[in-house]
Structure 1
């Protein structure tokens, strides 16, 4: 016999519409930017790309849409809005994904955008996410992602020019029965198709430097003026690259030195929604050190607790299935974090990294309770596929270019006690709790948080290196391997549909910020 104890009823909120799945088409022509509302200009560009899939390089079509300001002034950030990246993969690509057993694919895109001003250049990354898309029975696969992007501030007086570069499409692949397909994740690396001449996406004219009220006005787009050397001669001011600032949603969490952690239109809450902060440490066995896991946001959909009664009805077996998603700037990932080690025992190495969620996060609790003594034991297992991406690397004080696609070949991998039920590579963390009223619970509970531990293997690295230098073997030899202990701490959750000032801020973010423990 089974009983059912539903989660507490919470007032429902209006659900916002999900991300729109649009067309991503490869077309040889580039549609130039056109003027829209006063003070803005609209980009709608269709570009030919080549994408690397298991069967080889295939042509793809990429459509980029955004709204830019009509002009920019000195020190004014240029913040594109309404950014949409659409990709259409051909039928051959669909066959490759189907061969892995995939029925749906959840895309996340990383578009490298070059920015130039007065001969100086910089790169920004435009990221987008979308809900899972079902693979078509025939024909091409269309993926469309949206998301906030970095702002760019010029350091010169010339126009700012934006150009599309390489594109990575991270796909979380799921079978028809909800299991991970293949390794659960596939990154499709795409590059612009060869073209005789590539037009920029858009040029934002500059108003020039602020004129001196006592001097002649500066002309728009003028070059940097000479400056005097100490010896009296003149030299031209060095052109400085535009500054790229990652997108950071505003909110009171910034005042608390924590990243924002809230539900929004792109990820609306339900009556069972919780959010919480997580942090911790992971050992890197090869380097005989530990790396701090950054304070991160996780959005949780708590499932109901089921009870299967003992034959004598003196207690029962408890089970609960919940799901979660990492959330940072609209993406399923942690914030960037740095770690410094002595590579090979003597060379100081600093890496900037991000953990990207490439598939479903599941949180399964099971245990027993006694109706006679009221004593309860629970064990919770959290499973999540995470790919480790390296965004910057410095060895002995010298920066090494890792490129935009440096990452582990697959997700971090933990020993799985139930491989048939939970296939595919993923990180597995376990926490347990006991509860004997009237005392408070001891240990980890999904709602109140606590510590989760596990062990994982770091896969080999791929796609690392720029300017012809391959860093895959260096990172693999330095970091990859088994036996890496993980200790994660989750804070008290905030039930966003039932405001509790002891658990939530006024804007429904988690009030409790956990402290990492080794």
Structure 2
């Protein structure tokens, strides 16, 4: 299953996809100019309700598409213009900002003619250039970039509408703060330089993760910086359109050869505050969304999502890979914001809580596996993973180039094996054949190229499988199971699929991912 407009699964992003790589300077036609005039389409100026660390703030924003001539082969230009009100500007000034820069992460909703369900399309992130703050009044920030396509379902008529976005802003700390680049040099968070022979950043391509080590908890300042800087100069806005607005941007016609042309809706849509929501609830046809019973809102945080999670773990002793069928993982996420841990100002952090759930229990679905013991003897067994304690997903990402980041997910799991057959003959291991101790798993990923909580993707790493105990009814089978399965440094790769927003019922039901090996 391919994610629309991105890599690794069809996924909905509710604004937590923060740094998918910088997109270059604004390009009206989305690509090298051919001399043809692109067709401009834009939404009305929409009211957005935005969650911030300081409470809810209202912004106004307009989403624009610049659709090139079909023969040019250029990319579609995307622009988000967000206007910060006087109150928000005053708060930024009070925090010491003279100018701000950052990134907009946005999604649009695409619906094919005749369908009753919108699909969420994650746009490449849009870079916001440095913009001075006014002495008073509002401020309009512009994030621009390009995308190859907005639809992947083939020829047809599509309606494109504005959806949620995340706005992350950072600014240079006051010159009196040590370690902030006050010597006049720009901060170099990634320690890398652009490749002069490469493509212009943000050209709609997938970013190439930095090959250097992942950021450490004290990246860019350490404990000493923590004492100097208590409030990093940065702010995050998690924004959703206010109800009752016409969010339509345009209609698109996709031909058989893949070219895209705008529809005839050249007039700008008007704002009707009392109008019903356009198109009904996303992921539904005016009916309640089909949310699995195991999707639960288990924590009082800003976002409550669920998704399917599954994968593979190697069993090196047998040269085999055990499949883990996708099951529900519930995600509770705060707003991503400044790390406040002594890192330099351009580091943003987020710790999501996660909880497995299958038939009301904290576990993944039992999975039947077939493999060969001793390189020749066929075996089958059902493997069950149960969560022990808390599971967390930690994200660290930069709000300035090179926009690198990292993810680490930590979990403790009990492994149970049952319904074992050896060479076609049942081997009664009993009901409590499991590892003596839970396994501890720490999986990592490049952020956002490989994984984000909002868009899913894959994480991988290694784990030790402890010896087994409690195995056997008529005899002690612990040594046999331990000899076949237990061992150190077994490779694990887990894949998360499309999220479902439990509270709003958007993007539901979640879609199981295609597991990567």
TM-score interval for Structure 1 and Structure 2 normalised by the shorter chain: 0.3 to 0.5
- Between Structure 1 and Structure 2, the one with more strand by share is 1
Choose between structure 1 and 2 for higher RCO, CA contacts under 8 A separated by at least 6 residues: 2
